[in-house]
Structure 1
Amino acid sequence: MTRVEEFEQLRPLLFSIAYRILGSVSEAEDAVQETWLRYELSATRPASARAFLSAVVTRVSVDVLRSARVRREEYVGPWFPEPLLTDPYEDPAHSAELADSLSMAALLLLERLSPLERAVFVLREVFAFGFPEIASAVGRSQAACRQLAARARRHMNAGRPRFEADRKEREELAERFFDAFREGNVDGLRELLAADVSLVADSGGKAPQWARGFFGAAAVSRVLTAFLPPFVRIGGVVEPHQVNGQPGAIFRDRDGKVVNTWTLDILDGRVQAIRTVSNPDKLGHVGPVADAWAVLRETRLARSDAD
């Protein structure tokens, strides 16, 4: 097998590692490309291409994350990971860990960890790498990596909900949610929302921003049902879609361009959080991006005409 063939076979794994460390599709793709360049230029063929390439993409991602942390401190408004529609890597033996680690909620928890803790947690808890491989990847002793893994696990477990809905329950509730949403059914929506539900958007200052967000079932249900009917009247489309392995949707304008993505956190039979990503810099990989400001102006006009 040639180096190119080896690399392409492992590309899905490398991207999945990088994305979970970085929370960014574009940065993960760049990290994978940098990994290929280093592999192509290496003088010798490693005994294990998987171990070598995983170590390289981890080191590259950690370096990128350290500089990205500085930029995120200056980010305008809430910061969410870039939405991922499909994880290219599959491993039936670890499907639960892969799915759990992909959700917006899990990725935001990972943001609380140091770059090394995050890398060790991802390699160990998500991809089940052994500590010898992890130690080689992050340049620390096995003992230090075990400590990093234990510390990261404690942080992650402390932030996770105690009871999680299974996939079928999440999908059924999400279907009811979007049905009520499309119908403008305020009461139907309110029944599906947790009392302390939050609706928060990541615009990065480059798209319309919903103040600091909306909180509570009454406020969230009102803003949702006020927003959708005029959006639909101007040709907007709500396309239910799995986003980061969770129920969600892609909002498109009349030309099919992406306005934003939504993800739903569902727990105990209720929607606990709605996270939207409208920063155009984070949507290019989903498809051509709409002018969200123009869509908002047209939506508001359609709403005022209906009143």
Structure 2
Amino acid sequence: MSRTEEFEELRPLLFSIAYRILGSVSEAEDAVQETWLRFAASTTEPRSAKAFLSTTVTRISIDVLRSARARREVYVGQWLPEPLLTDPYEDPERSAELADSLSMAVLLLLERLSPLERAVFVLREVFSFGFPEIASALGRSEAACRQLAVRARRHMDAGRPRFEADRQEREELAERFFFAVREGDVQCLRELLAADAQIVGDGGGKAPQLARVVVGADNVARLLASYLPVLAKVDVTLEPCEVNGQPGAIFRDRDGKVLNTWTLDVLDGQIQTIRSVSNPDKLGHLGPVADAWAVNREANRARRSTT
């Protein structure tokens, strides 16, 4: 097998490692590309392509994450990970676990870890790498990596979100929720939302966004009920789909361009959190991006014309 073939076979794994460390599709893709360049330029044949490539992409991702942390400290508004529709890495026996590790709730929790803790957690808990492999990837002793794993697991367990175990029930709830959003049905939305439900928006200062996190079933229901009916007047459509391994949706303008995404956290038969990403810098990998400001202006005009 040629180097190109070896790399392409492992690309899904490499991207999935990088995305979970970085929470960014574009940065993960760049890390994978840099990994290929180093692999192609290597003058020695590694004993294991998987070990070489996973080590390289992990180290690159750690370096990128360290610089990204500084940028996120001055980010405008709430920072959320870039939405991902499909994880290229598949393992049927661990599909549920892999999906949970992709969720925005888990990715946000991973943000609390140091870059090394995050890398160890991803490699060990998500991809089941052995400690000798992890130690080699991080250039640390096995003992040090075990300590990093203990600390990371402690932090994650303390705040680890739980999700609806039954996938079908989760999807049926999401279907009812999106129907209520389309209909602007406040009462139905209240019943589907947890008492302390919240909606969080990430526009990055580059798209209309919530001024603050909206909390409470009644407040969230009223906001949602007023949202899509107005956007529908300017031909915005809601397309339910899986986002980051959880129920979600893509909103599109009349030309089919991506306006924003939603992801839903579902627990105990109710929706706990809705996360909306509208920062255009985080949507480009999903297709052509809409002018959210223009859509917002048109929607506001449509609202005024009917009041």
Normalising by the smaller structure, the TM-score range is: over 0.9
2 CA distance for matches of 1:65 and 1:172? 37
Structure 1 segment 67-82 matched on structure 2, within 5 A? 67-82=67-82
SS at match of 1:119: helix
Letter in 2 for 1:274: I
Give the match for residue 196 of structure 2.
196
The answer (yes or no) to whether the contact 1:165–1:268 under 8 Å persists in 2 is no
User: Is residue 217 of structure 2 the alignment partner of residue 217 of structure 1?
Assistant: yes
- The 8 Å contact of residues 165 and 266 in structure 1, kept in 2 or not, is answered as no
Task: Report the equivalent of 1:27.
Answer: 27
Q: Which residue of 2 aligns with 1:116?
A: 116
- Please list, as runs of the form range in 1=range in 2, the aligned pairs for 1:37-186 lying within 5 A after superposition: 37-161=37-161, 164-186=164-186
**Unmatched 5+ stretches in structure 1:** none
Q: Which runs of 5+ in 2 are unaligned?
A: none
For residues 57 and 145 of structure 2, the distance between their equivalents in structure 1, rounded to whole angstroms, comes to: 17
Deviation at 1:164, TM superposition (A): 4.0
Q: CA deviation at 1:163?
A: 6.4
1:287 matched to 2:294? The reply is no
Looking at structure 2, the residues matched to 45 and 216 of structure 1 have their Cα atoms a distance apart, in angstroms, of 58
Name the SS of the counterpart of 2:176 in structure 1: helix
Q: Deviations over 1:260-280 (max 9, x none)?
A: 000001111111000000000
- Determine the C-alpha separation between the residues in 2 that align with 1:232 and 1:20: 34
Residue type of the alignment partner of 2:76:
V
Larger mean CA deviation between 219-228 and 272-281 belongs to: 219-228
1:260 touches 1:276 (CA, 8 Å); kept in 2?
A: yes
Per-residue Cα deviation, 1:150-186 (whole angstroms, up to 9, x for no partner): 1101111110245644222211110000011111111
- Tell me the amino acid that sits aligned with residue 130 of structure 2: G
Percent identical: 76
Amino acid paired to 1:236: V
Write out per-residue CA displacement over residues 90-135 of structure 1, whole angstroms, 9 at most, x where no aligned residue: 0123323211100000000000000000000000000000111000
Structure 2 distance, partners of 1:194, 1:99, is 22
Q: Which AA in structure 2 matches 1:145?
A: C
Name 2:249's counterpart in structure 1: 249
Partner SS state of residue 248, structure 2: strand
The alignment's TM-score, normalised by the length of structure 1, stands at: 0.98
* SS state at 2:221 partner: helix
Q: Say how many residue pairs are matched.
A: 307
Q: Which residue of 1 aligns with 2:205?
A: 205
Preserved contact between residue 261 and residue 276 of structure 1 (Cα < 8 Å): yes
Tell me, yes or no, if structure 1 residue 3 matches structure 2 residue 39: no
Judging changes above 3 Å, is the alpha-carbon distance between structure 1 residues 97 and 165 closer, same or farther for their aligned structure 2 residues? closer
1:64 alignment partner AA: V
**1:202-252 Cα shifts (integer Å, max 9, x gaps):** 111110121112111111111111111121121110000100000000000
Contact 2:164 2:269 in 1 (8 A): no
CA RMSD of aligned residues (A): 1.0
Q: Aligned partners of 1:161, 1:89: CA distance in 2, in Å? A: 22
SS of the counterpart of 1:194? strand
Q: Which residue identity does 1:85 align to in structure 2? A: L
Question: Cα gap change, 1:133/1:168 in structure 2, threshold over 3 Å: closer, same or farther?
Answer: same
Q: Alignment partner of 1:241: what SS?
A: strand
Residue type of the alignment partner of 2:148: L
Q: Is the 8 A contact 2:163 2:265 kept in 1?
A: no
